[in-house]
Amino acid sequence: MQLQQASRKNAKIKMAIQGASGSGKTYSALSLAYGLCGDWTKIAVIDTENHSSELYAHLGNYQVLHVEAPFSPERYIEAIQVCEKADIEVIIIDSISHEWEGIGGILATHSNMTGNSYTNWSKLTPRHNAFVQHMLQSPLHIIGTIRAKQEYILSEKNGKQVPEKVGMKGVTREGMDYEFTLVFNLDMRNQATATKDRTSVFTGQPEFRITQETGKKILQWCNEGEKTEQGGEGDLYQRINDCKSLDELLQLYYSDPNPKPKIKSAFTKRKAELQKTPVPTS
């Protein structure tokens, strides 16, 4: 065992795109994947959606691995391993939802088990967790699509219990979104919002359409830690002073998880300078 300074070097994004049927999850994932690697032949789609990924074959020569029922965690792990052994850089899992709610998935398996429900969950949870961990520990970029459906709660109106819409909920295990570095929610207009963003690249941004440029921004974040380290402290000081906005400064700050005290002071100084800069008016 050896302690070392925290650093992000050539990270691989683990992210999800969540939306209802018809919101454009697959197309958005493909566009984003191309932005990440710049080569269609380096993209693999693990397709559990009845060949739906091939509807976009005109985009480029990406690879497709069809997975049919049963949608067990082990089948997903096997599919990821096939991609890892090939010359692939980005895996799109379309979709993750079948592992939870599909034929042979976790919920279906649990409903077919006899005996104590709690004991049965203690057998299934490690299998689901193994799938999650294999995604997170993969040496490749991974984009998972998650189906979303309308969620309701019962609220009392005029003495009666009435169902009330409270937004969309992903069809997967509760808390699955916490496992990813970045989660985009898509609406039916194909507009995305970042509901979780540990990169800070999309934090606070208004709705936007996912394009290849989105993937390029994520790739830049993935490589930022390595570039900062290679450039040395002098280069980093220059980049801090070159920041023109607080958002730009924040992105640079998060590229180094554990900045040295002198570097931290430089960030603080530049932040104060930017806060004093008057906003130009037209």
Give the tens place of pLDDT for each residue, 91-139: 999 999 999 999 999 999 999 999 999 999 999 999 999 999 999 999 9
pLDDT in tens, 131-180: 999 999 999 999 999 999 877 677 777 777 777 665 678 889 988 988 99
Q: Which domains does the chain possess?
A: 14-220 (3.40.50), 222-276 (no CATH)
Centre a 10 Å sphere on the Cβ of residue 94 and count the other Cβ atoms it contains: 25
Greater pLDDT, 253 or 80: 80
Strand 160-170 to 141-157 pairing: antiparallel
- The answer to whether residue 231 scores a pLDDT higher than 60 is no
Contact 199, 11 (CB under 8 A): no
Nearest to 120 by CA among 110, 129, 112: 110
Euclidean distance between CA atoms 69 and 53, whole angstroms: 17
What is the pLDDT, as a whole number, of residue 136?
92
What is the C-alpha to C-alpha distance for residues 169 and 174, in angstroms, rounded to an integer? 9
What is the C-alpha to C-alpha distance for residues 112 and 210, in angstroms, rounded to an integer?
39
Q: What are phi and psi of 209, to 5 degrees?
A: -95, 130
Q: What is the spatial distance between Cα 71 and Cα 203, in angstroms, rounded to a whole number?
A: 34
Structure tokens at 159: 């003495």
Nearest to 30 by CA among 55, 67, 66: 55
- Give the pLDDT score at 270: 87
Supply the pTM of this predicted model: 0.77
Cβ distance 46 to 91 under 8 Å? yes
What integer is the mean pLDDT of 1-14?
A: 75
